[in-house]
Structure 1
Amino acid sequence: MKNTRSIRVLVVDDSLLFREVISRGISSDPLIEVAARAGDPFEARDELLRVRPDVMLCDVQMPKMNGIEFIRRLLPQYAIPVIVVSGVTETVFEAMNAGAVDFEAKPDMNSPGSVQHFLEQLIVKIKNAAQAKIIAPVQPAMTAGSAVWPGNGIKGSALSLKERLIVIGASTGGTEAIASVINALPPDMPGIIIVQHIPPVFSRMFSERLNLSSALSVKEAEDGDLVVPGKVLVAPGDKQVSVRRIGGQYRLECASGAKVNGHCPSVDVLFESAAKAAGAQVIGVLLTGMGYDGAKGLLALRRKGARTIGQDEATSVVYGMPKAAYELGAVEKQAALPAIPRLLLSMLQ
């Protein structure tokens, strides 16, 4: 984000009222300017060419053409960061797959508190998106159901799998990055815990979507869940998640708590607890995201002898979190996103 001028935003929504609410709300920030508004994708196309905005906010359900198809057609021609503003439905993940960089759920318009929270979150995401780069959707080297994964799975006993632990953190651009990693892994993996900065409710939808596409069993984490081989646990969107070793087993604690590094769940909370609970038995992976959450936690893991991976700049939507970790010396191996599943498997051998 440049400090010399404001971030120019195009607001696209078929509701005149909602366009007005968004425009007034985000314009309250001195670094954001509403450059134009549009009621459908065809108006939006004309405004894009006219005002050349830095970020576009786009609804999913619109007349003439839905937002997902619009994004899919738009980005190859006009590489602009898109934030999807939608109701609470799984269509947001389709939009992310089409190339959007982030999303935010529409508020309850009858609740001033809900609207205010929505606008505050949207302002933060606009500033993040202004620094994002548009990356073509990644096709993983292997997908669930493939006959052979790199290395033909993990060599080792069930006991060694039970002892090992994989922790993954991500933020902006992370839903698609996580999916590309998880979908390329075989079912015989150690237990995996994920923190993605994501709103409540969407974390459950994200888990269910991953469960359908992956060879692993994926669910939204609950307090007291055991971390076992072949299972992926995704942190709820409003809980801090940590892992403890109790009686030879890894067990999750999910609890309401203050934000850490501006986030709940926080990657640092998970990574630091994993360093204490499992030390050298952990592999920590830090993917695309704005800010520095996870950097200190990844360093704590490395100091305990854990293996650590950071996504590289070229394939990160926002090279913020992995960059902060790299500069701290927390990243043992830096890799392009498509190479991370194979690297994970090689570290487990």
Structure 2
Amino acid sequence: MQRIKVIVIDDSAVVRQVNRETLERQADIEVIAVCPDPLVAFEKMQQQWPDVIVTDIEMPRMDGLAFLRRIMAERPTPVVVCSSLTDSAAATTVQALAAGALAIITKPKLRVRQFLLDSGNDLVAAVRAAARADMARVRHDASRPRQPAGPRHVERIAAPAHDLGTRQPSAVALPETTEKVIAIGTSTGGTQALETVLTALPRTTAGIVVVQHMPETFTSMLAYRLNELCAMEVREARDGDRVLPGRVLIAPGGRHMMLQRNGAQYGVLVTDGPPVNRHKPSVDVLFRSVARAAGGNALGIIMTGMGDDGARGIREMREARAQTIAEHESTCVVFGMPKAAIDLGGVGKIVPLDHIAQEIVAYGR
């Protein structure tokens, strides 16, 4: 078994020690160096290049964002950001995701050691997911428009007869409204994928609800950034928000989001609860609620990400007569979530990332 080689970079000795101990307990991970800042890391990396870099963003001598951009320009490498939960750190971390970082691990200002010990499984999962990422699919320069990377055709998948032809789902919404809604779920590599899709949509697009796996604080910064780039209004969802044409609601980190219908109108319920598929917010929670509330008036889209969150939910959407799309493997940073959805029979079309916006516009017509 070839082990995943990791470098840990953080100006905190405590963080370096705990992260190293956490990772080295795994048989498939090897920490080849721990460094107090990016300049020391560059020296170590010239001797042995890592498979994954775990780095803070706010550091002395050279900030993590500048370090990340240099890495992506010289030798694109999977990066997991270990960031504090402050607003300033969250804003910088969202910039790091736009520049090519793949995942976020959070750390508080106080009781750092215990927090990192408690969240060690999250760090390990993030490193393993990053190691599987296809860096050729990651946009390394956030200012450069993304070029189509996948096939221009759309793969259509026939619905299994035992799923759709003979069984009527018990939770299909009553046909009292023709209002359409679009639900999107994504994870690793998803911030760039969302940017690619949402920036290509006109303001007249049907209302969109999104789950992107991110910690609390970071989703609001992501929504703010996308709102600056998109014709549609993009914001972090609040409990009771209406789902309207021209509006994108992103589930807040640390909370689940569900679609509800009141007559001919859709709104969202933002609520607490246990993680589902290890995630909160969970794509499955959103998709299942969309199947119940919107039925055949919905479009479900599952994009790049590790694991299988959303696979069962999008299957329920398809069984409720919704249209469903998975991102094509050729454009996914990590093909885990779309593949799981396809394998489970929940996907009607497989579409490369650069054509998903076209599918959304066509659906709106």
When the two structures are superposed, what TM-score results if normalisation uses the length of structure 1?
0.88
- SS of the residue 1:63 aligns to: coil
After TM superposition, the structure 1 = structure 2 runs for residues 1-349 of structure 1, keeping only pairs within 5 Å, are: 4-88=1-85, 89=89, 90-110=91-111, 112-134=113-135, 135-137=137-139, 139=145, 163-349=179-365
RMSD over aligned Cα atoms: 2.2
User: Are the equivalent residues in 2 in contact too, given 1:325–1:331 (CA < 8 A)?
Assistant: yes
The CA distance in 1 between the partners of 2:269 and 2:190, in whole Å, is 23
Report 1 or 2 for greater relative contact order, CA contacts < 8 Å, sequence distance ≥ 6. Answer: 2
1:109 positional shift: 4.0
The CA distance in 2 between the partners of 1:162 and 1:44, in whole Å, is 56
The CA distance in 2 between the partners of 1:116 and 1:122, in whole Å, is 10
The CA distance in 1 between the partners of 2:60 and 2:114, in whole Å, is 29
Identity of aligned residues (%): 40
* CA deviation vs aligned residue, 1:230-261 (integer Å, no higher than 9, x gap): 11111111112111211221121111112211
Structure 2: gaps spanning 5 or more residues: 148-175
How many pairs align?
329
Give, as a single letter, the amino acid of the residue that structure 1 aligns with 2:25: S
1:53 positional shift: 1.9
The CA distance in 2 between the partners of 1:329 and 1:253, in whole Å, is 28
Give, as a single letter, the amino acid of the residue that structure 2 aligns with 1:301: M
Give, as a single letter, the amino acid of the residue that structure 1 aligns with 2:97: M
The CA distance in 1 between the partners of 2:292 and 2:178, in whole Å, is 17
Give, as a single letter, the amino acid of the residue that structure 2 aligns with 1:74: I
Give, as a single letter, the amino acid of the residue that structure 2 aligns with 1:250: Y
* CA deviation vs aligned residue, 1:24-61 (integer Å, no higher than 9, x gap): 23223333221112233232223223223221112222
* CA deviation vs aligned residue, 1:260-295 (integer Å, no higher than 9, x gap): 111111111111111111111111110100011111
Question: Could you tell me which residue of structure 1 aligns to residue 159 of structure 2?
Answer: none
* CA deviation vs aligned residue, 1:291-343 (integer Å, no higher than 9, x gap): 11111111111222211111111211110001111222322221221211112
- SS of the residue 1:314 aligns to: helix
* CA deviation vs aligned residue, 1:63-104 (integer Å, no higher than 9, x gap): 333222222222243232111112232111111121111122
Structure 1: gaps spanning 5 or more residues: 142-159
